[in-house]
Structure 1
Amino acid sequence: MAAFGAFALLIALVLAAYNLVAGGVALRLLAVGGRARIAPERLAETARRAGIAGFFAIMAAAFALVWSVFHNDFTIEYIVEHSNRALPAAYKFAALWSGQEGSLLLWASLLAIYGFVLRVRHHSDVKLHAYAGTILAGVQVFFLLLLNFAAPPFSGVRGGIAPPDGNGLNPLLQYPEMVIHPPMLYLGYVGFSVPFAFALGALMMRYPGEKWIHITRRWTMATWMFLTIGIFLGMHWAYAVLGWGGYWGWDPVENASLMPWLTGTAFLHSVMMQEKRGMMKSWNVWLIFATFLLTLLGTLLTRAGLVSSVHAFAQSSIGDWFVGFMVIVLAVCLFTYILQRDHLKSEHQMESLVSRESSFLFNNLVLLAACFTILWGTLFPVLSEYFEGTKKTVAGAYYSHVAIPIGVFLLFLTGVGPLLAWRASSFKSLRKNFVLPGIAFLATVVVCIAAGLKPWADEGIFYSTMTFALGVAVATAICSEFLRGAGVLHRQTGKNFAASTVLLVRRSTRRYGGYIVHLGLVVIFIGFAGYAFNRSAEKEMAVGSKMEIGPYTLVNLGNTEESNANYDTEFSQLDVFENGKKILDQPMSPEKRVYLVNGQPQTMVANHSTLRWDLYVVYEGKNPDTGLPIIKAFLNPLVTWIWIGLVVVVFGTLVALVPSLSPVRAVVAVPSSTGPLPGAAAVRATGGGN
């Protein structure tokens, strides 16, 4: 199977190279015109079919690697390093992305899937799809070069003698979410290749209008959704596995996933200005160019070992390949932009600072400022080592000092944007739209102070109070939009309020799906705001010992050691009482595992989660002097709302992906004796029936 997989990758490289070269030649012939020995249309079609065939070749290689993992083929070095016989079946899938070679194959496989869909759905605009398919082929050639020469996944074991067992999967990856998190993250990373290819192709061919944005809108939204899910699954994994009581530590690999999310979010907002007003065309192409380059940087940081990170599961020397490819991509983008920049002139200018255009512009500037801040902090250790010979790290306080106020300001813009009109907003409309959110903001501040918060005494509490108040204000503004629109439809159609709300959303899924996404982000920010109120306690706990934290009392029922074929484990069993009353039927059991095949430890957190807070308990091991287990407990307010907010964001994105309800056209019969009517012969029905 190893020989089959290696051959499939070689065939895939040949097909991708043909797709790139033949597609490029065909497009050049079409651009210059004139007669040629081979019709450019036929050459372009052969390139498209080569891309489709390449999909099957890459899928065959991926199947070969997974098959080899499940069949414990330890003649392959990669499987020796990342699997073993006792590894549970679900985690054998995770072996595909636990190492560098497998993760690159996953990248190429997902790109092949996206490319396959693009190439079989090319009928809407054949030439633009041909440009995009050729550009994707160029990206695919790079990854297949890596897989064939720099990081081949089917290399034979060193010495030629297969060991009886492998070294096993990294213990940190042996958690259910890690079967989902990396593929979701990579679906986001790889997916941004598609809007990048369309944007670069449209610029190369001086594509008229904004049709390329309409074609790629759903690609971009789906990709953004996958990346969002991947980021939050990573946060939840860090929260549940690493045992430090938090979900975001400004780790370089965490930052690497956040940066393309920020620029991708800016792009999704900015393209609306191009669609509505023909503005910010240059911004948009550079936003998507930057997003694609940041996905490559994220893959580089994760897989090339440039930075130290608990998330960097593969270390290697392929950094030079990635840097070289990123330089080529940047050079192509810059050359094309300079050559075609006159095609990107804005059709209108900003007319007022109090307008929806200005809110989008501020939104873009803030998102880009956040991205640059994170990029600088992430690359600072690399740059300091290169220029000074000493690697200097950036503390989390650097990011928090900048990111928290930026986040609060973004929350403010989230509520302001939908309340402003295009071009300019009148004072009357501002007063009408901002009264309720303003009242909600002030009322929330008063309630927070009455509840005992002192925002003037502590910076963290100040920002949390502002987040609570702005969150309520934004939610009020969003709900007002739904209520206003549903009320109009209720009066027009006579439907009940719930049916009117559904009809309202179906008529403009993109708009109201976006509102739902904004509402989900509000919920997430509320969850983030709870971080300022975290508490913790730590104690050595013999059997019968008690530890108090907040309203909870933990009582140690006993300490246990167990073993199985995969790992040894130590854990404590803790009864939980709230205000003197036992609240759990089963005791909490935080544990510490040590995996037999490689001796690596892993923390398994016990977490009792409510809407108010999480009781988060960690078994930190035994004190070597006393032999007693050390238990650390955290009380983390509002964390559950982060995960609820993610569900709302995903739901809103799915709503926005659904096509809006098409208006019904009713043909009006006109008697021939009356002659033609001066008006239209069709009446557009705005509802779905009265």
Structure 2
Amino acid sequence: MRGRFVVTLERLLRGTRVYFSDIGIIALMLALGFTILTIVIAVVGAVRELPQAVLSAKRAVLVVAGFLVVAAAALVASFLTHDFGVKYVAEQSSLSMPWYFTSAAFYGGQEGSLLYWALMLGIFSAIFVFTSWRAPAKLVPYVLATLMFIEGFFLIVLVTVSNPFVRTLNPPQDGNGLNPLLMDPGMLVHPPMLLMGYMSFAMPFAFAVAALISGELKNDWLRSIRRWTLASWTIQTGGLLLGSWWAYHVLGWGGYWGWDPVENAALLPWLTSTAFLHSTMVQERRGMLKVWNMCLVIASFALSIFGTFEVRSGIISSVHSFAYSDIGGYFFAFLAVIILFSIGLFFFRLPKLKAEQEFDSVVSREGVFLLNNLMLLGITFATLWGTLFPLISQTIRKQTMTVGAPFYNSVNGPLFAVLILAMGVGPLLAWRRTSLNALWRNLSVPAILAAICAVILPLLGVTNVLANIGFSVCAFTGMAILYELWRGARVRHAHGEPYVKAVYMLFKRYRQRYGGYIVHLGLVFLALGVVGSHFFQIQKDVTLKSGQEAELGGYRFVYLGNLQSYGDDQQSVTSQMQIWQNGSLLSYIYPGRTMYKNFDDQPASQISISTFGLTDLYVFLGDWQGPSQATIRIFVNPLVPLVWWGGMLMLLGGVLCWWPEARKRVVYGRRSTSLPKTSALVEDKGVVA
């Protein structure tokens, strides 16, 4: 690598041709150098209390971010100019690919995705530099050093074993092309969102490490990372939602979540960060769960590194894994360093993490928050165990034993049901303890609605007991959220505000509280979609000739024949079909398959998904014989649209919680300052008795 660096410099000095890849490798090596420099300067500035050194470290972080932007731009330029002399470009793109897929190939493989990870960490670190005035001064240099330590690991991997700018001596005339499963619009948004979500958990982790090193373990560090954690949670939620949508529209198996190992890996840090966001309120309000919160922050980042490793190492077989390499040892070593270093710091500062108060009653808001955390950690453990079990079985018994969806559904299903129930109960309880009268007054309306739902559903044909329980739990929690919103609006209406304005002011003044309710309501909608599609999905495989038809779920599917088309590097077959119901033509649909050059064994599916009301008709072309016969797989998926609506509500709620509070100017003589309109303490005051 040093030789490549020297050769590139000689080209620059002689004025001979310099490739974008040459600029990229120089930028990566300079970024690595400044990363090491930042760590040294930041630590010296913290230990010797030198403000100028800390300022220099901040500037060095900006330089690192700048070089990473240059490196990323150089890789994108290599793709857009079709520089197949770059091995990574030749492997991930081809001349026939449209420019947007060519650009997206930047993160289509291992090398590019690791560069994207490092790039986003550099950008987030730069954002922290510009907003560091909000953080306690003693934490800032340690946060910078921690972020650059993480950045340094990725840069070392990038300039040694996983370099995206390696050139070949005999470049091909055309590239191999992108994996067909990634030739989808979802490719443009799903992978970068998910990788950004993994990366973003480095920010709360850096604050936790800084607090442990400096000994500043009061609530200031928690307040400093609240918005960073909310941003991480929202980004990861978006990544999970987009991943589900991609799987539903591309893979052709009729579902959106199959408990695939890579799906599980993305879910794990989301679960622990969700637990942290809830338990941190208990620490800020009551001074409790300090040890618990520190463990959750560390676990979230460790699981994000595990997820990044699993997606790009290929150590566990998955339809979501598109890169296989030998970087596993590096990631295991890094993960081990992170865990051992964090555990050492944790036990060193354990005496300072003692709780300030104890639980007064189980029937309290903090009691429900603790139950919420236990359910989330239970789901995390079960999911992690199921994900790692094939590796464990291979190591111990020398044979690979997989864990399927039935295990996850039977274990995590009841835990999620209790979790959703706790979401409805928690906001209606008071801190410390709730009297029986207040408990009945706050829970009676949602409980009565849930009971009515449980009685009516069997009369409407829902005979599955588990589905009935799921719908009733969702009814209870949904009503509890709406009831709490109505009570807040009623209080403001009693002071003269119209109801519409009262609701608007609740969200404006208490954004985190009511944004959280939107998240909970979105999860209720999502859960309704999951229950409906899981218990009531119906499927049928049929082989039809032109003019023949099939019926399923009250819909009639008429097959009209196949059309074939050919391109420069692909060929496609499309089946023409009609959907009828009650004698009326609803729509024409065109399920199909596309075969790409160099990927004959991986045809991409063009799945037809037609939504009528709250039901998806999902049609997949399995096989075909000539122009007049096809094997079709049909799914009727009830309530699946609620999954996407619920996910969008969760994202909206996450953004509302994260969005900065409006600030007002307070003037003191000739000086002025900006203060939040509402404090966390005021925000937490609800109308719960």
TM-score by length of 1: 0.92
Map of 1:606-685 to 2, 5 A cutoff?
606-622=608-624, 628-660=629-661
C-alpha spacing 1:5/1:186, structure 2 compared with 1 (3 Å): same
The whole-number CA distance in structure 1 between the counterparts of 2:660 and 2:40 is 36
- Counterpart pick for 1:11 among 8, 30, 36: 30
C-alpha spacing 1:627/1:556, structure 2 compared with 1 (3 Å): closer
1:202 is the counterpart of 2:211: yes
- Counterpart pick for 2:528 among 526, 530, 534: 526
1:575 is the counterpart of 2:578: yes
1:341 is the counterpart of 2:350: yes
1:153 is the counterpart of 2:156: no
Stretches of structure 1 that go unaligned for 5 or more consecutive residues are: 31-39, 455-460, 668-683, 685-690
Q: Which amino acid aligns with 2:337?
A: I
Aligned to 1:423: 432
- Counterpart pick for 1:541 among 544, 553, 560: 544
1:129 is the counterpart of 2:140: yes
Residue pair 1:200, 1:285 contacting (<8 A) in 2 also: no
- Quote the offset at 1:535 in angstroms: 0.5
Residue pair 2:217, 2:353 contacting (<8 A) in 1 also: no
- Quote the offset at 1:623 in angstroms: 5.3
1:378 is the counterpart of 2:391: no
- 1:193-216 deviations in whole A, cap 9, x for unaligned? 001101110121111521111111
Residue pair 1:281, 1:344 contacting (<8 A) in 2 also: yes
- Quote the offset at 1:400 in angstroms: 1.1
Residue pair 1:540, 1:629 contacting (<8 A) in 2 also: yes
- Quote the offset at 1:88 in angstroms: 1.3
The whole-number CA distance in structure 2 between the counterparts of 1:180 and 1:658 is 22
Aligned to 2:40: 21
- 1:90-147 deviations in whole A, cap 9, x for unaligned? 1112211111100100100010010010112222333312211110000000000000
Residue pair 2:566, 2:572 contacting (<8 A) in 1 also: yes
- Quote the offset at 1:43 in angstroms: 2.3
Map of 1:219-618 to 2, 5 A cutoff?
219-454=228-463, 461-492=464-495, 494-530=496-532, 531-584=534-587, 587-599=588-600, 600-618=602-620
Instruction: Give 3-state SS (helix, strand or coil) of 1:250's partner.
Output: coil
Q: Which amino acid aligns with 2:130?
A: V
The whole-number CA distance in structure 1 between the counterparts of 2:422 and 2:651 is 20
The whole-number CA distance in structure 1 between the counterparts of 2:567 and 2:518 is 46
Residue pair 1:384, 1:390 contacting (<8 A) in 2 also: yes
Aligned to 1:688: none
The whole-number CA distance in structure 2 between the counterparts of 1:209 and 1:246 is 45
Q: CA RMSD in A?
A: 1.7
The whole-number CA distance in structure 2 between the counterparts of 1:557 and 1:629 is 10
Between the aligned residues of both structures, percent identity stands at 38
Stretches of structure 2 that go unaligned for 5 or more consecutive residues are: 1-19, 669-681, 683-689
Instruction: Give 3-state SS (helix, strand or coil) of 1:424's partner.
Output: coil
The whole-number CA distance in structure 2 between the counterparts of 1:441 and 1:663 is 43
C-alpha spacing 1:592/1:336, structure 2 compared with 1 (3 Å): same
The whole-number CA distance in structure 2 between the counterparts of 1:413 and 1:491 is 30
Q: Which amino acid aligns with 1:568?
A: Q
Instruction: Give 3-state SS (helix, strand or coil) of 2:387's partner.
Output: helix
1:96 is the counterpart of 2:106: yes
- 1:554-586 deviations in whole A, cap 9, x for unaligned? 1112211011234211111101101121112xx
The whole-number CA distance in structure 1 between the counterparts of 2:359 and 2:55 is 43
Aligned to 1:215: 224
- Quote the offset at 1:650 in angstroms: 1.1
Q: Which amino acid aligns with 2:41?
A: A
The whole-number CA distance in structure 2 between the counterparts of 1:622 and 1:555 is 15
The whole-number CA distance in structure 2 between the counterparts of 1:522 and 1:93 is 37
C-alpha spacing 1:478/1:662, structure 2 compared with 1 (3 Å): farther
- Quote the offset at 1:475 in angstroms: 1.2
Q: Which amino acid aligns with 2:164?
A: P
Residue pair 2:38, 2:148 contacting (<8 A) in 1 also: yes
- Quote the offset at 1:372 in angstroms: 0.7
The whole-number CA distance in structure 2 between the counterparts of 1:103 and 1:663 is 42
The whole-number CA distance in structure 2 between the counterparts of 1:664 and 1:498 is 27
The number of aligned residues is 647
Residue pair 1:468, 1:529 contacting (<8 A) in 2 also: yes
C-alpha spacing 1:107/1:337, structure 2 compared with 1 (3 Å): same
Residue pair 2:118, 2:151 contacting (<8 A) in 1 also: yes
The whole-number CA distance in structure 1 between the counterparts of 2:83 and 2:387 is 38
The whole-number CA distance in structure 2 between the counterparts of 1:512 and 1:348 is 27
- Counterpart pick for 2:154 among 105, 119, 143: 143
The whole-number CA distance in structure 2 between the counterparts of 1:442 and 1:665 is 52
Residue pair 1:74, 1:165 contacting (<8 A) in 2 also: yes
- Quote the offset at 1:609 in angstroms: 1.2
- 1:578-601 deviations in whole A, cap 9, x for unaligned? 1121112xx100001101243231
Aligned to 1:74: 84
The whole-number CA distance in structure 2 between the counterparts of 1:283 and 1:72 is 51
Single out whichever of 641-650 and 626-635 deviates more from structure 2: 626-635
Residue pair 1:486, 1:501 contacting (<8 A) in 2 also: yes
Single out whichever of 608-617 and 123-132 deviates more from structure 2: 123-132
The whole-number CA distance in structure 1 between the counterparts of 2:339 and 2:427 is 35
Q: Which amino acid aligns with 2:566?
A: S
- Quote the offset at 1:660 in angstroms: 4.4
- Quote the offset at 1:480 in angstroms: 1.0
- 1:346-400 deviations in whole A, cap 9, x for unaligned? 1110110101111111111111111011111101111222222222211221111
Instruction: Give 3-state SS (helix, strand or coil) of 2:452's partner.
Output: helix
The whole-number CA distance in structure 1 between the counterparts of 2:486 and 2:386 is 43
- Quote the offset at 1:628 in angstroms: 2.4
